Amino acid sequence: MNSNFTKLSFLRIKVILCLTIVFHCENLMGQNETDTTNFSRLVKFPLFTSEFIHYPATNYDQNKLLLSEVRTAVNLGFPLDNNQTILTSRLVHSYFSFEAEHNLTGTQVNKYYQSIAVGIGFVRMLKKNWKISFMLMPTIASDFVEPLHADDWIFQTSFLATKRVDKNIEYGTGLIYTTTFGRPMILPLLNYLRKKNNWTTIIYLPAYLAHYFEPSDKFRLGFKATVFGNLYNANFDSYQLNELEFANRVSYTRILIGPDSHMNIFGDFYINLSAGLSVRNRIEIQDDNLNMKGSINTDIKPYINVGIKLLK
């Protein structure tokens, strides 16, 4: 069943990739080189991104663990009202695999989790180079072992107000309701962008921080730190473990820190390469009330991230 499930998972990814390119060709010609204020955009708009993150095998409590992630996203924008309003939509597919093998008995446990989020929102231009943005993202996060039901759903949302100071700087603040840290939380948003003299700083707390040297539009090299997490509805019947009798959630969080680069390969497509240290990889098994029933914390370990982007 695991083999078939894995094949089905990657088939979903391939379908999303194909649909993404079709959507881009048909619907995104309205994107232009400005942020709809009086200035050019500080960073390129990510129409499409897909990345694979690999972690080497690590030992934990007499078990060998192997983790990996695949994430694919598409962002669409539809300008209205003479570019004063932009309707936005987003499709994000995340795939997380967890494989464990006991060093003494050879017993194996393979679990695969996915999330599919479909976001819809808007960006509205205001006076004095202010703008506000809002997005609602219904999300399905599950191991898909059983038919979908209410516990597989969560509604994430964000609101951000930003000010374009001049041609080099933008900042903003807002709120987000998210599972980035492995459970639903309301968190403050802080946004800061600065691009000057081939140097670019991107801060989108609490999830992203980066600083790059960009000698041209076709190449950049720098350093980034990212946070990602999710809360999956899960089925543990096959384990037949008494301590997991009432468990039905898996929480996953990780923090990556390291060098990052992207390089133009053709047209608006870029290849993204990064490597560094995963300073946190935590898996929690929870009950329906999000009470922890068990957890796995792996040691600091390296990671490799390979991706492709379509930037406009």
Q: Which residue has the higher pLDDT, 97 or 4?
A: 97
* H or E element in which residue 249 lies: strand 247-266
CATH number (domain holding residue 158): 2.40.160
**Report for 10-19, 53-62, 109-118, 168-177: range of highest mean pLDDT:** 168-177
Strand runs (DSSP E) across 179-238, as ranges?
185-196, 199-205, 208-216, 219-233
Decide if pLDDT at 73 tops 70: yes
259: closest CA among 219, 232, 221? 221
Tokens at residue 10, please?
A: 């990657």
Q: How far is the C-alpha of 151 from the C-alpha of 133, rounded, in Å? A: 28
Mean of the pLDDT values across residues 177-189? Answer: 93
pTM for this one? 0.84
Domain count, the chain: 1
Check: CB of residue 222 under 8 Å from CB of residue 211: yes
Question: pLDDT averaged over the chain?
Answer: 85
Residue 4 has pLDDT above 70, yes or no: no
pLDDT tens for 193-245 read 999 999 999 999 999 999 999 999 899 999 999 999 999 988 765 444 445 55
Dihedral angle at the C-alpha atoms of 14, 19, 20, 25, nearest 10 degrees?
140
- Return the pLDDT at 134: 97
How long a stretch of residues is the chain?
Answer: 312
Q: Is the peptide bond before 206 cis (omega within 30 degrees of 0)?
A: yes
CA angle 113, 51, 72 (to 5 degrees): 60
Q: What is the pLDDT of residue 264?
A: 95
Q: What is residue 11's predicted lDDT score, i.e. its pLDDT?
A: 47
Q: Which amino acid is at 296?
A: I
SS3 of residue 262 by DSSP: strand
Return the higher-pLDDT residue of 166 and 58: 166
From 9-13, 167-171, 222-226, 251-255, the region with the lowest mean pLDDT: 9-13
Tokens of 153: 């759903």
pLDDT in tens, 100-147: 887 777 777 788 999 999 999 999 999 999 999 999 999 999 999 888
What does the pLDDT read at residue 239?
47
User: Are residues 137 and 115 in contact, defined by beta-carbon separation less than 8 angstroms?
Assistant: no
CA 38, 137, 269, 226 torsion-angle sign: positive
Range of the domain at 226: 2-311
Nearest C-alpha neighbor of 158 from the set 179, 141, 136: 136
What per-residue confidence (pLDDT) applies to 37?
55
**Residue from 259, 304, 303 nearest 278 by CA:** 303
